Amino acid sequence: MSDRVSTLAIRVEKLSNDENPSLDMWARKWAAFINHMDVNGDGKMDEYEFVNMTAARVRAITESAEKEEEIKVFLKETWNKWWNGFMNAENLKSFSADDVISTEAKTRAKMVDMQHLIMEVKWSHTFFELVDTDGNDCLNKTEHANFLKIFRVPFSSALFSEADTNSDGAISKSEMIIKELAWVIDNSGEGADFYGKIQ
Ligand SMILES: [Ca+2]
Ligand SMILES: [Ca+2]
Ligand SMILES: [Ca+2]
């Protein structure tokens, strides 16, 4: 590589980071999420991985065929209504982290749509209720580990502490919902590790 070319490469890299500091966070969050959900390792999350395999993990944790069916309907609806729209596809089969990263501005704008935010609240609320086995409206470490297992994320005490915003040793429903919303819409590090430690 000539000096001129390598200087240019450094400049381009620097420029892109300076111009859009949020891109890194967005990219890292989505790379981590898709990587966890990509069971067959083809670099994409397909509909079967998102809907059926997630529902199967819910069944394994709750030991309930009824809950598996309920969550399957919810995930299918999410895929059809939101992911088709975000990816601008009528019959979306799969997408990669790069697809979400390259469409950041448009996708981010669609995600702050009020109806989408309502769905996100329902999303975190639904998964919270599924894993709050003792029904005390708080998640202990075992229950939080089960939540993470649904998304194929290994549990760690660090993840639990981050989610437990007020450090009272339990994750309340509002802590859960606020962190999940932050993961979806915030540009800063807030909620960034909600679906596992980002790289
Ligand atoms: Ca895959
Ligand atoms: Ca509980
Ligand atoms: Ca707490």
pLDDT per position as a tens digit, 18-77: 566 667 899 999 999 999 999 999 999 999 999 999 999 999 999 999 999 999 999 999
Asked whether the CA dihedral 121, 150, 153, 41 is positive or negative, the reply is negative
Supply the CATH number for residue 46's domain. 1.10.238.10
Q: Report the alpha-carbon distance of residue 117 to residue 123 in Å, rounded.
A: 10
Task: Please give the distance, rounded to the nearest whole angstrom, from the Cα atom of residue 169 to the centre of ligand 3.
Answer: 6
CA 61 / ligand 2 centre spacing (Å): 14
* Residue 128 located in a structural domain: yes
What single-letter amino acid sits at 45?
A: M
What ligand is nearest to the CA atom of residue 37? 1
User: What value does the mean pLDDT take over residues 105-132?
Assistant: 96
Alpha-carbon gap, residue 61 to 70, rounded angstroms:
14
**So what's the pLDDT on residue 22?**
67
Domain annotation covers residue 180: yes
Range of the domain at 146: 22-185
Q: 188 falls in which pLDDT band (50, 70, 90)?
A: confident
Residue type at position 190:
E
**Ligand sitting nearest the alpha carbon of 167:** 3
Q: Does the pTM exceed 0.75?
A: yes
User: pLDDT band at residue 12, thresholds of 50, 70 and 90?
Assistant: very low
Residue 120 lies in a domain: yes
Question: Would residue 123 count as lying in a domain?
Answer: yes
pLDDT average, residue stretch 130-151: 98
Determine, yes or no, domain membership for 134. yes
Residue 7 has pLDDT above 60, yes or no: no
Q: Is residue 198 part of a domain?
A: no
Helices vs. strands in the chain: H and E counts, helices first: 12, 4
Judge whether 13 lies within some domain: no
**Ligand at shortest distance from the CA of 144:** 2
CA of 194 to the centre of ligand 2 (A): 18
User: Nearest ligand to the C-alpha of residue 165?
Assistant: 3
Q: How many domains, the chain?
A: 1
* Predicted confidence band of residue 138 (pLDDT cuts 50, 70, 90): very high
